[in-house]
Amino acid sequence: MNVNLLILQFIGHLLGDYIFQTDASAKEKNENGFKSKFIFKHTLITFISSLVLSFDFNFTLCSLGIAASHLIIDGLKHKLNKGRFSFFIDQTLHIVMIVLFVWMFELYFKENPLLKITNTKLLLIITGYLICLKPANIFIREVLVVAKIESISDTTTELKNAGKVIGILERILVLTFVIIGKLEIIGFMIAAKSILRYKDTNTIKTEYVLIGTMLSFGIAMLAGLLIERF
Give the list of residues 6+ apart from residue 171 with CB closer than 8 angstroms, or none.
Answer: 132, 136, 216, 217, 219, 220
What are the pLDDT digits (tens) for 83-116?
778 899 999 999 999 999 999 999 999 999 898 8
What are the pLDDT digits (tens) for 122-175?
999 999 999 999 999 999 989 988 887 766 555 444 555 777 888 899 999 999
Task: Output the CA–CA distances (angstroms, integers) from residue 177 to 91, 130, 172, 173, 220, in the order listed.
Answer: 28, 16, 9, 6, 10
What are the pLDDT digits (tens) for 146-155?
887 766 555 4
**Cα distance between residue 137 and residue 215, in whole Å:** 10
> Nearest-5° angle of CA 225, CA 229, CA 230?
125
Look at residues 57, 55, 70 and name the one whose alpha carbon lies nearest to residue 16.
70
11 has a pLDDT exceeding 60: yes
**Cα distance between residue 144 and residue 87, in whole Å:** 12
**Cα distance between residue 54 and residue 60, in whole Å:** 9
What are the pLDDT digits (tens) for 18-41?
999 988 888 888 888 888 889 999
SS (H, E, C) 148-197: CCCCCCCCCCCCCCHHHHHHHHHHHHHHHHHHCCCHHHHHHHHHHHHHHC
Give the list of residues 6+ apart from residue 183 with CB closer than 8 angstroms, or none.
Answer: 177
Spatial contact of 16 and 132, defined as CB atoms under 8 Å apart: no
Counting Cα atoms < 13 Å in the Cβ hemisphere of 197 gives 16
48 has a pLDDT exceeding 60: yes
Sequence ranges of the domains in the chain = 3-118, 144-228
- Residue 161: what pLDDT? 73
